Amino acid sequence: MSTSSARETASVAAAVRERAGRWRRGTPTGRLVALGVLFAIVVLAIFAPLIGSDPEAVDSFGELEAPSGAHFFGTDQFGLDVFSRVIHAARIDLTVAVLASLLALVVGMPLGALAAYRRGWFDQVTMRIAESFQAFPALLLAMGVAAALGSSLRNLVFIIAIVNAPVYFRLTRNAVIPLRDSDYVIMARAAGRSTRQILFGHILPNVREVAIAQFSVNCAWAIQILAGLSFIGIGVRLPTAEWGLMVRLGTDYIVTGEWWVSVFPGLAIIVVVLALNEIADSFRREVSLRP
Amino acid sequence: MSSPLSGTALLEVEEAEKTFPADGATVRAVDGVSLSVEPGEIFGVVGESGSGKSTLARLVLKLTPLTAGRISFDGERIDELPEKRFRERRRDMQIVLQDPLASFDPRWKITRSMGEFLQLRSGFTKATAAQEAVAAAASVGLDPAILDRYPAQVSGGQLQRLSIARSLASNPKLLVVDEPTSSLDVSIRGQIVNLLLDEREARQLTIVLISHDLSVVRAMSDRVAVMYRGQIVEIGPAADVLERPAHPYTRGLLEATSFARRKAATGSARLRGELADDEACTGCRLLDRCPLAEERCRETQSLRPLTEGHEVRCWKATA
Amino acid sequence: MTSVAPDPVRATDDARDGDLLVVDRLAARARTRQGETFPLQDITFTVPRNAIVGVVGESGSGKSLTTAAILGLLPAGVALTSGTILFEGRDLLTLPERQLRAIRGAKISIVFQNPRASLNPVISVGKQIAEVTRVHTGAGKREAWEHAVELLDGMGIRNARRRADDYPHQYSGGMAQRAALARALACSPRLLIADEPTTGLDATVQEDVLELLVTRIRERDASLLLISHDIGVIAATCDEVVVMYAGTVLESGPAGPILEGALSPYTAALVACFDVTESGRMRAIPGSTPVLTHAHAGCPFASRCEVAEPVCADSVPALEEKGGRRVACHLR
């Protein structure tokens, strides 16, 4: 490598380090820790097949073994390695959560912004629809739709998205209402900008932090719904690994002392949900501190 | 009649009304306002809170729909024109708002905000946008480096000048300025006033000035209308209305706000109490505060001529 | 012969014979996301007993921060770096919080521009005022209520007795400010600080409110520190005026002589901007207020001053007694 390109690389590296340093200093600690935790879990999930043993391989002689060197989190009543199942389950839980929340966002946010901006009958109608969806307890609604559509993983994504979309809708609508009367929006109208131009140019960018916070919370919520559905038997089925399902399978054994079957997947849910909530809170705090 | 249908008027407002529903009752923000503005003149609209002057500004620019009445611009009825057809006309009439910091999108660089208005110009191309923005900034005496900043990084006075440059970017015939100096330090308001006066000269611009600041209105206006609770109570040439006010409200307002007069205030024109939130009454709206109030004031009052071009809505007023 | 020990009561009285409030060389530093600023650099003024003192300043002058400092209510990130604030002879900056609280709200009360900031929205107006009276005079409920009604009436609220039962949101802006002022007077303070009390109110209301406030203050032999950007307001009400610019005081002293014959070029230019009677171009001060990212190297107004000389930019003018007032200017 010639000296000039070495110097170039060095300066680029320095620039990247400087940028990263600034980002780190500008990001609150809570958010950093939460992101770190999530990142670790994602890595574990991605490399799950390499790290853990086959999540569906039964060890008939090793049923209900306590955590040990061979099985970090012990084994369940079928002899399946809990650790491996926990990290494999991460793939499903996280993917479904993210996809469902993204779908809810893509549907709910533009509708909410449009409803707030246009007002009138469009606003009234969409609000009533959103409210009727939200009138049902989420789990019941999910159960109903699952019963109607069947509970394949793809359907589960849709179900959870349907349950979450009204939340995005109302959140965005509430965030846009104060913005639509702001002076710079009035000026944009005076400049002859169309509704679409104003929504995408001025209004949606200003609800970004609120949307990120909500996305994070929705992912947490999606995991809980998925876990809940699996817990009551509608979601994922054996032998697929999913945290909620695993918790359910282990409930009978807590009383008899084999706590690890439920506790580890339960902890996984808690840790991820907490991390996601912390990210959401940190964005919300940032928004509320703005003048 | 206060608005003779002279064919030359640039802006004509006839019996404009704007009502809002509020807490069950209806608020008559603008209640039968008529005026006409000639090309090249500066028309001042004076009033305090609740007078309806800001609502009037928004009605004129079709930023809020009329409840009743007619508005014509450059000889064409615009109140019934659908937005799609009206959009092209927007380049001919623009508005500058009170708070410059709120008038710019906080996330957009200044140059992008300027571009939003530059594109109204016929013959606009993206390639020349940057240069035209620079020219616009220079025309109000600002260093083009300011274009690369965000609104929060620019001082109030400079931002208001940019706001004016931006609204003039499409070369409008009419500029409505709503409280252009009220958010700014008194020592800077002269900068804005002088800038607007210069632009009027240079572009043969017509200006409608909305303000509660009588010094600014006095400095700029050719004609003045005084508004109180949705109605025009006095209208006429600026010198007449501001030097020889006829309506009790105008007199009270002038006495309360004049620095020189404060030092020598006699208190004879003092208005009692303050604006009550009562619903519109049929008689004079100033009844509960006017030092000259009488029984006859309960009847509906209309604008009547006092001298040439000077009208007042008070049966007791004399020239 | 026995010696007479100094009378402790008399000793305190002597200390109290001086000025009510003495602010001396106050300076502050603020830490913001963009860096450091020095919003107060050298604030010096006094409020005598039974006097009405106006503080005139534009944006960035430091007038609101100064009042916050007097009450020990500086916002986060802002700290005083030097100076003293003497109230009745005691330095407020060295007092423990407990004693400061005893002074705040009892001897010094404050009213802000937004009356909604001074009034509790969930308690009726009369009750709030009566509460202040009860706490500070030990009066009974009935007595305190009567006092509250009297105060409201004294600030020009019609039907005060009925209105005392209403909540702040039922008051219009002007009435709410009258109520806020009434409450500030309820504890019979020695010093009332009013920060832009009538800004934002209709012009026709401002005059009335200010007049009543001045009357009530004089009745009580109290002092009023009135902060405003409006020279008209100051001219109509104040005995003395303090002119602030960019964190320093440029002129202070008797209001009449200063407003009619200012020695500081800034004061003169500012007064000229207010005194508008003709049509046509208006007077303005070119440029804008400086950003206070460092301590002043010279006179802060030099860059905008019509009569500035080279010496003005080179050294900070000291606030000195000249022509019956104090002024900070090299050329006067």
Per-residue DSSP letters for chain B? --S---TT-SEEEEEEEEEEEETTEEEEEEEEEEEEE-TT-EEEEE--TTSSHHHHHHHHTTSS--SEEEEEETTEE-TTS-HHHHGGGGGGEEEE-S-HHHHS-TTS-HHHHHHHHHTTSTT--HHHHHHHHHHHHHHTT--GGGGGS-GGGS-HHHHHHHHHHHHTTT--SEEEEESTTTTS-HHHHHHHHHHHHHHHHHHT-EEEEEES-HHHHHHH-SEEEEEETTEEEEEEEHHHHHHS--SHHHHHHHHHH-HHHHHT---TTPPPS----PPP-SS-TTTTT-TT--GGGGS----EEEETTEEES-TT---
CATH annotation of C13-107+189-328: 3.40.50.300
CATH, domain range A29-289: 1.10.3720.10
Q: Which residues of C touch B274 (CB under 8 A)?
A: 172, 174-175, 202, 204-205
Name the closest residue on chain B to residue C256, using Cα atoms. B263
Taking CB atoms and an 8 Å cutoff, what residues of chain B touch A196? none
What is the rounded CA–CA span in Å between residue B227 and residue B215?
16
Å from B158 to nearest chain C CA? 8
Banded model confidence at residue A223, pLDDT cuts 50, 70, 90: confident
b/e string for C116-147 if b means 16 or more Cβ within 10 A? Answer: eebbeeeebbbbbbbbbbbebeeeeeeebbbb
Q: What's the pTM? A: 0.80
Give the H or E element holding residue C249: strand C248-254
Which residue is closest to B88 within chain A, CA to CA? A192
Contact B104 A184 (CB under 8 A): yes
User: Cβ(B168)–Cβ(B199) under 8 Å?
Assistant: yes
Chain A interface test: which of B64, B116, B160, B163 (most A C-beta within 10 Å): B116
Judge whether B157 and B145 are in contact, CB under 8 Å: no
- What residue type is assigned to position A68 of the chain? S
The answer to whether residues C226 and C290 touch, using CB atoms and an 8 Å cutoff, is: no
**Residue B195's closest chain C neighbor by CA?**
C281
Cα dist. C243→A226, C39, C71, C226 in Å? Answer: 67, 15, 20, 12
For B164, nearest residue in chain A (alpha carbons):
A187
Tell me whether residues B116 and A206 touch, CB distance under 8 A: no
CB contact under 8 Å between C58 and B186, yes or no, is yes
Mean pLDDT across chain A: 83
pLDDT digits (tens, 9 = 90+) for C120-147: 999 999 999 999 999 888 889 999 999 9
CB contact under 8 Å between A184 and B61, yes or no, is: no
Interface with A, mutate which of B20, B105, B167, B168 (most A CBs under 10 A): B105
Burial (CB count within 10 angstroms: exposed 0-12, middle 13-18, buried 19+), residue C115: buried
Question: What's the average model confidence in pLDDT over A264-285?
Answer: 87
Distance (Å) from the alpha carbon of B221 to chain C's nearest alpha carbon: 8
Print pLDDT tens along chain B (319 aa): 344 445 689 999 999 999 988 777 788 899 999 999 999 999 999 998 889 999 999 999 999 999 999 999 998 999 888 888 898 889 899 999 999 999 999 989 999 999 999 888 877 787 788 888 999 999 998 999 999 999 988 988 999 999 999 999 989 999 999 999 988 988 899 999 999 999 999 999 999 999 988 889 999 999 999 999 999 999 999 999 998 899 999 988 888 776 555 555 556 667 766 666 555 567 888 887 888 888 888 888 888 888 888 999 988 887 6
H/E stretch holding C152 reads helix C141-154
Query: Nearest CA of chain B to the CA of A188: how many Å?
Result: 7
Subunits in contact with chain C (3 or more CB pairs closer than 8 Å): B
Put simply, the answer to whether B102 touches A188 (Cβ < 8 Å) is no
- Closest Cα of chain C to B16: distance in Å? 25
Q: Could you tell me the CA-to-CA distances from B111 to B166, C149, C332 in Å, in that order? A: 10, 56, 44
A156-215 residues touching B, CB cutoff 8 A = 182-184, 186-193, 201-202, 205-206
- pLDDT per residue as tens digits for the range A119-164: 889 999 999 999 998 888 877 888 888 788 877 888 888 888 888 8
| Binary contact (B218, C273; C-beta < 8 A) | no
Minimum distance, in Å, between the CA of residue A114 and any CA atom of chain B: 18
User: For C304, which residue in chain B has the nearest alpha carbon?
Assistant: B187
State which residue of chain B sits closest to C291, comparing Cα positions: B155
Distance between first and last Cα of chain A: 51
What values do phi and psi take at A207, rounded to 5?
Answer: -105, 15
Considering only CB atoms, A189 lies closest to which of B63, B91, B98, namely: B63
